[in-house]
Chains A and B, each alone.
Chain A
Amino acid sequence: MTSTARAEQHRPAAGTRAEPPAPQRTRRRIPVGAVIGAVVLLVLVIVPFTGGLTVPFVFDGALSSSRTQLILAAALLFACVAISYDVVFGYTGLLNAGHATVFAAALYATNIGMELGVPFVPAALIAVVLATALGAGIGALSLRARGLGFAMVTLAFCEAFSTLLVTDPFRVFGGEEGRPLAFEQVPSILLQARNVKWLYWLALATLVLVAVIALVATRSQCGRVWLAVRENEQRVEMLGLNPFAYKLVAYSFSSFLAAIAGTVYLIVVRAANPASASVEFSLAMIVMVVIGGRGRLWGAALGGFLYGILTLRLPSLSSSGALDGLPGWAGRVLAEPLFVLGVVFILIVLFAPGGVGGAVDAVRRRIRASGRSRSANGPGSPPASRQDAP
């Protein structure tokens, strides 16, 4: 079989799955990822019912306690953000350094809408539209700069927006303090202090929604062009496609996904805070995606989730007594999320550039390789599947 023919045969399998291969094949190839995803989802769904189950070292108290559920909800939304960022950074290869802007814009717009008396759901929908439009505008301007210039321009926009929120010249954003959540317009079921499971499930549902939309988009024809732009922009241009348009769509689309996460994050943290628009948060998204593995949605989600747990739990590490043996300054340094993340991140870039996703793929390749060599002459040995392609 020539390589072209093989590519032709595998494209439907990788894409829309419109033409499944022979039936016995499909039974053989239950996607491992789907099974793992379903199990993880199930575990996450039943977290509020785990009773007194604890996760030592990671969380204080029971897993089902309100505090832990709120931390998990925030981490799940960070996973959404990481997925949205992976579309533009991992898939399209654009080093966007200002992604927090659209996230925060949706967050603030939702709250301002609710302050004006609009109920939560319509306010959130309007906010998503506005934030996506803002993202498209910023993208259209900053994509004029090539390469690293693009990173610097997006960074500048992020700083400008963040300054706008903090200095608040028009007295609408609440300055450094931000704005408290406009409680009146939020469904009361999401606001119970002792029963946060509905809010937690809302965050989980948001993650599923964002992940599914992103999965469909990245597997579409447009998603394949994004990958092509990342690999070789000149060639895309030579094929008669307009890379700028595809990059702009990727930028706007990822803004859209981040905006969805922002509207729910508002309720989880119960405030519109300028920290959500900061350059640090934008750069943190790079960290999330690289830790999890660029260009893999599940990797990005995992990276965002781990990042969330790490930043939200590390500061309390010093008060937990785990660092008591160390001198004060060392304890303070180790409890500083920035420091730990930075060091972990450097180690990953140096020694595991593919992140967690890359490591898992390497293990899978090795397992499959050993399996194939054992059954090399067996009757049912399948041809090399697409994951084997370099």
Chain B
Amino acid sequence: MNAFLVILVTALGLGGLYFLLASGLSLIFGLMDVLNLAHGAFFGIGGYAAWIVMDSLGVVDSLALRFLVSVVVAVAAGLLAGFVIEKVLVARSYGDHLAQILLTLGLGFALNGLLAGLFTYSPRSLPQPEWLAATSALGGAQIPNSRLVIIVVAAVVFLGMIGFLRYTRHGLIIRAGAENRQMVRALGIDVRRSFTLVFALGGALACLGGALGAVFFNGVTPTLGQNMLIFSFIVVIIGGLGSVPGTAVAAVLVALVQQFTNFYANTGLGDLAIVVLLVGTLLVRPQGLLGRKAAST
């Protein structure tokens, strides 16, 4: 029972990280039809930004405060990176989806290479605030607090995103743009601003995931983001392209299947189980769990 609870919470934490990456991907895809292959690099940027702050901000004594600052810096770095990359690269190729995907592919390569050159391939682990590294007793099991924090953060982000999409003007434009871009443009709304917004938002969420992931995985490596990205793609497809609630459900589902298979069956079979899940979804429901029919064409 104890092991079950620990794995459950770990899986939920991992699901939270998947959600942070996949929700940005899903939004970018839903609005812009761009498969952002550089999204994993954002995850890495967030992790290293947090590591740099934790490592060099010695003036702040309290580790907890320093960690908070590092997360904020990581999010800001993600916002900036997403904004700049969209403006400088992706915006040059509007109307040519393949070129945009290829650009993000090259960018992913370049950024991962840059991170590898700057920080080498050996993992960098963040000094953690004591409370984060400690465990809490929950239902008779010792649960690492960091997992709980990630779950809470992901839940807050999920609610925030739903609120943002439902109740703000920008969210309205993003939802409308995902449905029918021409119509939105015909109404005199500049969709390009939404593109930039979504890209920056996606970058920020991915970097938030990276900063938290550096804690979750006890360190950050240049290849971590790439691995996470692949699972995020699976999450996005299973959840349904462009659907934030679908992404959330799929993120939890994928993480649960992965962790429990790895624990109860055989380490490594978890990834295969996910692909089986993916294939099953494709055969039964090609548009994903909560995707619209039109999203599959």
Residues of A bordering B, CB below 8 Å: 95, 141-142, 144-149, 151-153, 155-157, 159-160, 163-164, 166-169, 279-280, 283, 286-287, 290, 329, 332-343, 345-346, 349-350, 353
Q: Given contacts A95-B101, A149-B241, is CB(A333)–CB(B297) below 8 Å?
A: no
Contact A349 B106 (CB under 8 A): yes
The smallest C-beta distance from B258 to any residue of chain A, in angstroms, reads 10
Q: Does B271 contact A (CB under 8 A)?
A: yes
Q: In the assembly, what is the distance between CA of A144 and CA of B106, in Å?
A: 27
- Across the interface, A342 reaches (CB within 8 A) one of B92, B111, B286, namely B111
Add 16 more A-B contacts to A149-B237, A153-B237, A339-B116 (CB < 8 A): A151-B101, A152-B35, A153-B279, A156-B278, A159-B271, A163-B272, A280-B226, A286-B105, A329-B118, A332-B117, A333-B117, A333-B118, A336-B114, A342-B106, A342-B109, A346-B110
Contact B109 A339 (CB under 8 A): yes
Q: Given contacts A152-B237, A283-B105, A287-B106, is CB(A332)–CB(B118) below 8 Å?
A: yes
Contact A148 B33 (CB under 8 A): yes
A-contact bits for B72-113, CB 8 A (1 contact / 0 none): 000000000000000001001100011101110111111111
Contact A279 B275 (CB under 8 A): no
Interface window among B148-156, B175-183, B228-236: B228-236
Chosen A-B contacts, 12 in total, with CB atoms closer than 8 Å, are A144-B283, A146-B297, A148-B35, A149-B296, A156-B230, A169-B269, A338-B110, A338-B113, A339-B113, A341-B106, A341-B113, A349-B103
The smallest C-beta distance from A89 to any residue of chain B, in angstroms, reads 10
Contact A336 B113 (CB under 8 A): yes
- Across the interface, B107 reaches (CB within 8 A) one of A142, A168, A335, A342, namely A342
Contact B102 A345 (CB under 8 A): yes
Contact A287 B274 (CB under 8 A): no
Q: In the assembly, what is the distance between CA of A335 and CA of B112, in Å?
A: 13
Contact B107 A338 (CB under 8 A): no
Contact A346 B107 (CB under 8 A): yes
Contact A155 B233 (CB under 8 A): yes
Number of interface residues of B (CB under 8 A): 50
The smallest C-beta distance from A160 to any residue of chain B, in angstroms, reads 4
- Find the residue from B93, B109, B114 having the highest chain A CB count within 10 A: B109
Secondary structure type dominating chain A contacts: helix
Q: Does B282 contact A (CB under 8 A)?
A: yes
Q: Given contacts A149-B296, A333-B117, A339-B117, is CB(A286)–CB(B274) below 8 Å?
A: no
Residues of B bordering A, CB below 8 Å: 29, 33, 35, 37, 89, 92-93, 97-99, 101-103, 105-114, 116-118, 120, 226, 230-231, 233-234, 236-237, 241, 266-269, 271-272, 274-275, 278-279, 282-283, 286, 296-297
Contact B109 A169 (CB under 8 A): no
Q: In the assembly, what is the distance between CA of A169 and CA of B296, in Å?
A: 34
- Find the residue from B101, B110, B267 having the highest chain A CB count within 10 A: B110
- Across the interface, A148 reaches (CB within 8 A) one of B29, B105, B274, B286, namely B29
Closest A-B pairs by Cβ, 6 of them: A167-B268, A342-B110, A339-B113, A342-B109, A338-B113, A333-B117
- On chain B, the residues within 8 Å of A340 by CB distance are 113
- On chain B, the residues within 8 Å of A141 by CB distance are 279, 282-283
- On chain B, the residues within 8 Å of A152 by CB distance are 35, 233-234, 236-237
Q: In the assembly, what is the distance between CA of A358 and CA of B267, in Å?
A: 47
- On chain A, the residues within 8 Å of B93 by CB distance are 349-350
Q: In the assembly, what is the distance between CA of A142 and CA of B278, in Å?
A: 10
Task: Find the B residue at minimum CB distance from A145.
Answer: B282
- On chain B, the residues within 8 Å of A157 by CB distance are 275
- Across the interface, B110 reaches (CB within 8 A) one of A145, A163, A343, namely A343
Q: In the assembly, what is the distance between CA of A157 and CA of B241, in Å?
A: 18
Contact A342 B113 (CB under 8 A): yes
Q: In the assembly, what is the distance between CA of A152 and CA of B234, in Å?
A: 7
Q: In the assembly, what is the distance between CA of A152 and CA of B230, in Å?
A: 8
The smallest C-beta distance from A355 to any residue of chain B, in angstroms, reads 11
The smallest C-beta distance from A237 to any residue of chain B, in angstroms, reads 13
Contact A160 B237 (CB under 8 A): no
The smallest C-beta distance from A335 to any residue of chain B, in angstroms, reads 7
- On chain B, the residues within 8 Å of A332 by CB distance are 117-118, 120
The smallest C-beta distance from A134 to any residue of chain B, in angstroms, reads 14
Q: In the assembly, what is the distance between CA of A164 and CA of B233, in Å?
A: 18
Q: In the assembly, what is the distance between CA of A64 and CA of B241, in Å?
A: 53
Task: Find the A residue at minimum CB distance from B103.
Answer: A349
Q: In the assembly, what is the distance between CA of A128 and CA of B275, in Å?
A: 24
The smallest C-beta distance from A307 to any residue of chain B, in angstroms, reads 11
Q: In the assembly, what is the distance between CA of A350 and CA of B107, in Å?
A: 12
- Across the interface, B268 reaches (CB within 8 A) one of A169, A287, A350, namely A169
Contact A349 B102 (CB under 8 A): yes
- On chain B, the residues within 8 Å of A168 by CB distance are 268
The smallest C-beta distance from A315 to any residue of chain B, in angstroms, reads 11
Task: Find the A residue at minimum CB distance from B40.
Answer: A279
Contact B109 A341 (CB under 8 A): yes
The smallest C-beta distance from B111 to any residue of chain A, in angstroms, reads 7
Q: In the assembly, what is the distance between CA of A156 and CA of B89, in Å?
A: 26
Task: Find the B residue at minimum CB distance from A164.
Answer: B272
- On chain A, the residues within 8 Å of B97 by CB distance are 148
- Find the residue from A147, A166, A338 having the highest chain B CB count within 10 A: A338
Task: Find the B residue at minimum CB distance from A283.
Answer: B105
The smallest C-beta distance from A130 to any residue of chain B, in angstroms, reads 18
Task: Find the B residue at minimum CB distance from A286.
Answer: B105
Q: In the assembly, what is the distance between CA of A148 and CA of B103, in Å?
A: 15
Contact A336 B116 (CB under 8 A): yes
Contact B99 A169 (CB under 8 A): no
Q: In the assembly, what is the distance between CA of A281 and CA of B98, in Å?
A: 19
Q: In the assembly, what is the distance between CA of A163 and CA of B297, in Å?
A: 30
- On chain A, the residues within 8 Å of B33 by CB distance are 148
Q: Given contacts A141-B282, A157-B275, A164-B268, is CB(A290)–CB(B102) below 8 Å?
A: yes
Task: Find the B residue at minimum CB distance from A138.
Answer: B279
The smallest C-beta distance from A284 to any residue of chain B, in angstroms, reads 8
Q: In the assembly, what is the distance between CA of A290 and CA of B105, in Å?
A: 11
The smallest C-beta distance from B109 to any residue of chain A, in angstroms, reads 3
- On chain A, the residues within 8 Å of B102 by CB distance are 286, 290, 345, 349
